[in-house]
Amino acid sequence: MKLAFIVDPLASFNLKKDTTYAMMVEAAARGHTLYAFQQDDLAWHKHQVSAHAAELQLTGSTPDWFHLQPATTIVLSDFDAVIMRKDPPFDMEYIYSTYLLELAERGGARIFNRPQAIRDYNEKMAIARFAEFTAPSLVTRKLDWLQDFIDSHTDVILKPLDGMGGASIFRVGATDPNRNVILETLTAHGQRTIMAQRYIPAISAGDKRVLVIGGEPVPYCLARIPKAGETRGNLAAGGTGVAQALNARERQIAEALGPQLIAAGLLLVGLDVIGDYLTEVNVTSPTCFQEITTQTGCNVAAIFMNSLEKIIK
């Protein structure tokens, strides 16, 4: 197959952790031809969506782990699959890219994850589609509603709807002297919508990243365990990743959501589960392939490529 990856700059990859790199290695081992381009290489011209894309060879060595052929303009429908792996921020440029990719789909391109689904499934808000699995939550920008929520639940997590890697996440108690300024800052004095969730003490055992590929759960998750004195388990916030077999609750959530996710065109999803509760649905560029594979021997990239090949063929 001829596979194109929409990526951040290749030189920025951390090869020991990067999930896109793991996908590329597995694809190359199967004899697929790889191409890479960035978000700003996309264009709509003469009624077609194309990209200034370069064929990519993996060298198998570091630090010069890749070699790019000279880039050429290629219509996206000429690829067997286009894999969207651009990291957030999910800003207007990201949205414009999904518009272009959706036009490419109309021209016959196969995009994973589907651009409309990426737009529709805000990674924080998407849990509202599956409310039976969520902790008490509130999404609003009204300060009085947020204050009432904190008073009612006494221990609350506050987070923006467009954050990643644990950025700007606050734990606020009913008696916290900083609660007003935190709310004012996060909401920009009531001008920005945020999410409040009841604090889940089970975070001490880890914020579990449960991968769903092709509508099916990967049998292992990555428990991202907060460092001492920290509420957030995110690896970017200093959490430690420990691979574990899915427990009954995690499997229940993943199996319940899987058919809906794949039906929406979401080939790869990273569910965040704390204790018994679904807290996020990650669809832009879910990670943790390499950590799970290294610790368990379960080749997650192979599971992904098997699912992609099944859909494409």
Q: Catalytic one among 26, 105, 250, 280?
A: 280
Annotated active-site residue 282? The verdict is: yes
Annotated active-site residue 224? The verdict is: yes
Q: Catalytic one among 110, 209, 250, 291?
A: 209
Q: Catalytic one among 26, 232, 234, 250?
A: 232
Q: Catalytic one among 113, 122, 234, 282?
A: 282
For 38, 119, 122, 196, the CA distances from 306, given in Å and listed in that order, are 25, 25, 27, 38
Q: Catalytic one among 162, 207, 250, 272?
A: 272
Q: Which residues of 287-301 are buried (b: 16+ CB within 10 A; e: fewer)?
A: bbbbbbbeebebebb
Instruction: Give the number of C-alpha atoms closer than 13 A to the C-alpha of residue 12, restricted to the C-beta side.
Output: 6
State which amino acid sits at residue 195. M
Q: Catalytic one among 122, 224, 250, 291?
A: 224
Q: Catalytic one among 124, 179, 198, 208?
A: 124
Beta bridge partners of 56: 34, 68
Annotated active-site residue 129? The verdict is: no
Q: Catalytic one among 159, 179, 198, 208?
A: 159
How far apart CA 219 and CA 240 sit, in angstroms, is 20
Annotated active-site residue 124? The verdict is: yes
- Per the document, the length of the chain is 313
Annotated active-site residue 280? The verdict is: yes
Annotated active-site residue 106? The verdict is: no
- Contact between 246 and 264 under an 8 Å Cβ cutoff? The reply is no
Q: Which residues of 69-94 are buried (b: 16+ CB within 10 A; e: fewer)?
A: eeeeebbbbbbbbbbbbbeeebeeeb
Active site residues: 124, 159, 209, 224, 232, 272, 280, 282
